[in-house]
A and B are shown apart, each in its own frame.
Chain A
Amino acid sequence: AQSVTQPDIHITVSEGASLELRCNYSYGATPYLFWYVQSPGQGLQLLLKYFSGDTLVQGIKGFEAEFKRSQSSFNLRKPSVHWSDAAEYFCAGNTDKLIFGTGTRLQVFP
């Protein structure tokens, strides 16, 4: 069955530190891949997407993600986290329908 896995339920980092959120997918073929962010009480905002081509994709708010076919991963990174980045982050994959992971809650300490 198609699935997206986010192994980390909750991550805490200090402001200014680097960040990596993990995402693994299980599909018969390489899906389109996405990262969304959800702030409290808000809808989902698209951070970045991977369809094909360059495996390192740049997104909004200084985020980037790297697609690694050999590891079935699409990890999200940011070199320096800001307090405003505290939110829930969802990885999602799509072949015929968009399937979400369970999310990673990011907490940022000053």
Chain B
Amino acid sequence: EAGVAQSPRYKIIEKRQSVAFWCNPISGHATLYWYQQILGQGPKLLIQFQNNGVVDDSQLPKDRFSAERLKGVDSTLKIQPAKLEDSAVYLCASSLEALPIHFGPGTRLTVT
């Protein structure tokens, strides 16, 4: 079984620029998650999709972050404009029904 795929693995941008991350979940997994992991902290849920509908986006900074899941499969997370405090690892994860959740390798974002 192929795991959760993410790209790019690393990204360096300047503040106020925009950036997008891509995620392909495990085949057949209806639930997709985006987590933000700041250095020294545990991952924090940004948004959860069930198929192509949003289940929970209560911790997503909607003034600058957006996410979509087209056709209930792949997903894109966008930040526009980026701030220094957005430097973190962005983890995509998926699950078949609810638990357990399987994580991708993450995208390390550095905002300078």
Contacts and interface: CB of A to CB of B under 8 A. Distances in A.
Interface residues of B, number: 21
Nearest to A48: B100
Interface residues on A, range: 20 to 34
Nearest to A92: B42
Which secondary structure characterizes the binding site on chain A? strand
Given A97-B56, A102-B40, A44 B103 contact: yes
Given A43-B105, A44-B91, A94 B99 contact: yes
Contacts of B45: 97-98
Contact of A101 (B4, B42, B105): B42
Contacts of A44: 43, 91, 93, 103
A90 B4 CA distance: 19
A103 B105 contact: no
Contacts of B104: 43
B46 to A, nearest CB: 11
Nearest to A45: B103
A22 B106 CA distance: 26
Contact of A97 (B4, B48, B106): B48
